[in-house]
Amino acid sequence: MSLTLETDVLIIGGGLAGCWAAIAAAEAGAEVVLADKGYCGTSGVTATAGPNHWWVPPDPERRAQAVRERNARALGLADPRWMARIIDTTWRTLPTLADYYDHSLTAGGVPHYQSLRGPEYLRALRRYAEARGVRILDHSPALELLLHADGAVAGARGLQRQEGPPAGRDWTVRAAGVVVATGGCAFLSKLLGSRNNTGDGHLMAAEAGARLSGMEFSTYHTVAERHSTQTRSASYAFADYFDADGREIDTGGDPDVTVPLARALLAGPVYATLARMPADLQAILPQIQPAILLPFHRQGIDPFTQRFPITLHGEGTVRGTGGLRLADEDCQTDVPGLYAAGDVATRELIAGAISGGGAQNSAWAVSSGTWAGQAAARLAHGRGRRIGEAVDAAGGAGLRPTQGPGTAKPDASDLTRQLYDRVRAEMLPYDKILFRRAPVLTSSLETLDDLWRVARDQLAPGAYATARVRAREAAALVACARWATAGALARSESRGLHRREDATALDPAQAHRLLSGGLDSVWVAPESVAVSTQVA
């Protein structure tokens, strides 16, 4: 038995942006279904983190100054109007969580709305969404979008992994509007909380006709203890770093330690200590970030007195800035009725060529989710669900191999693993990602094009839920890797997160965004004035 639902708005993804989108759509009077790949409440990179939000009081001069300062660092690719919008929407929206989150009070007795602990934040958002009548489908990854004959989105299809294992149960949701909020693509790095962030939404949207933007800005990295996932940068603000001979590594006094540490890690092991953290902060660290000390305690390491080995985890597009291009101020993609919220969307509009970090990206998730949810609800109210119309499934690679029956295909789980490993081999090594050069990028792109052909032609997922989800993840990882690599090759300069060893200077002639897209044939092109994302 499959599950078939009709609704006004379908949200794909139940992390920060997806939850806010669901709440906004429901508050606007829409019937809402939210399908999460995992469990809405623990899914997504925010649930394991502790986000701050870009938080500027409604004083016109202070807000204008915040936008000016941030735009000056965006290297020409941001849009100050979008920055002003997310500051305002975040300020007005975040306090509505107060019924579900036990905010700390500041000295003046004002709730501390902007800085929240991840597990409690997502637990609160789930309760908030449920209280507004959102129907949540947990462990229900979407696999493909459904499209009307006119190209507008009509819903999605997926499977419920925990219903009737091992096969699972298929679901189909028809909806007037769909919000994709599947997060950034972390390329299966060990970034905390990112295992599900395999670019599924990027692929589904691209299959439906969406374009991407800024995929070359996919190089953000975060420090963690060598075999740990705890990529929590606040504590590492106090870190000192050493090579295997005990010599201190000069990180240049810049808060961004990625480049010097990556160079050192390419040469050998690197060690850190948090000895400079003041004793009063050491004492309360478990109450600030309860998870960060777990790996240390469990290995008998005292990070405040001892040196421990570290690594850098790549974040792909999570705290990179690339993602689905937005066609209007409602966060609609190039596909009518399909909206993108949070890290799956490009954040160039608010961050430009450098990372939005935690605070800006969280404000983006709240705001883009809210706008997308409201717009999808308006669409449902206006045009309606179009339930009687025939629709087509848009999915390809990882769902329907082009090599027909009778062809001997490799075992799906073996092939999926190979694809995982080979994408990681192109997208995670520091020398390929942080120190980019044209010949290496060209070679990577050829490899990835081969992988795409394999995924498209041979990846036959079989009947079991886990294999079906993984096959689709493998196809999505390959697709995102190709857009990111093609973008990196096309941008023959260094700008912000994108560093080219063979073109180290910023080129004023390339102060434009790069769009990308395509499946069998990947393309990259400068965003022209005609298609630039304008706010009315």
Partner 1 sequence: MIELVFTDRCTGCNTCVRICPTNVLEAGNGGTPVIARQEDCQTCFLCELYCEADALYVAPNCDVPVTVDADTIAASGLLGQFRRDSGWHEWAGQSPNLHWRMGELFARARSR
Please report, as ranges, the residues that interact with partner 1 according to CB under 8 A: 38-39, 41-44, 47-48, 50, 52, 102, 104, 106, 112, 115-117, 119-120, 138-139, 161-162, 165, 190, 192-196, 225, 227-229, 234-235, 237-238, 255, 276-278, 281, 284, 286-291, 294-295, 297-299, 466
| C-alpha closest to that of 444 among 474, 480, 475, 473 | 480
| Shortest distance, position 120 Cβ to partner 1, whole Å | 7
Cβ distance to partner 1 smaller for residue 3 or 519: 3
Cβ distance to partner 1 smaller for residue 258 or 533: 258
Cβ distance to partner 1 smaller for residue 201 or 214: 201
Torsion angles phi and psi, residue 361, rounded to 5: -65, -35
Torsion angles phi and psi, residue 64, rounded to 5: -65, -40
CA angle 3, 6, 12 (to 5 degrees): 75
Beta bridge partners of 144: 157
**Helix, strand, or coil (residue 178):** strand
| Shortest distance, position 530 Cβ to partner 1, whole Å | 41
Cβ distance to partner 1 smaller for residue 103 or 386: 103
Torsion angles phi and psi, residue 406, rounded to 5: 95, -20
B/e letters for 449-462, b = 16+ CB within 10 Å, e = fewer, are bebbebbbebbbbe
Cβ distance to partner 1 smaller for residue 151 or 462: 462
Cβ distance to partner 1 smaller for residue 61 or 254: 254
Strands (E), 373-431: 392-393
Which residues are within 8 A (CB) of 490 and not within 5 positions of it... i.e. 6 or more apart?
216, 514, 524
DSSP state, 104? P
| Shortest distance, position 159 Cβ to partner 1, whole Å | 12
Cβ distance to partner 1 smaller for residue 57 or 404: 57
What is the distance of C-alpha 459 from the center of its chain?
A: 25
CA gap 387, 7 in Å, rounded: 10
| Shortest distance, position 31 Cβ to partner 1, whole Å | 24
| Shortest distance, position 202 Cβ to partner 1, whole Å | 19
| Shortest distance, position 51 Cβ to partner 1, whole Å | 9
Q: How many CB atoms lie within 10 A of CB 351?
A: 30
| Shortest distance, position 180 Cβ to partner 1, whole Å | 18
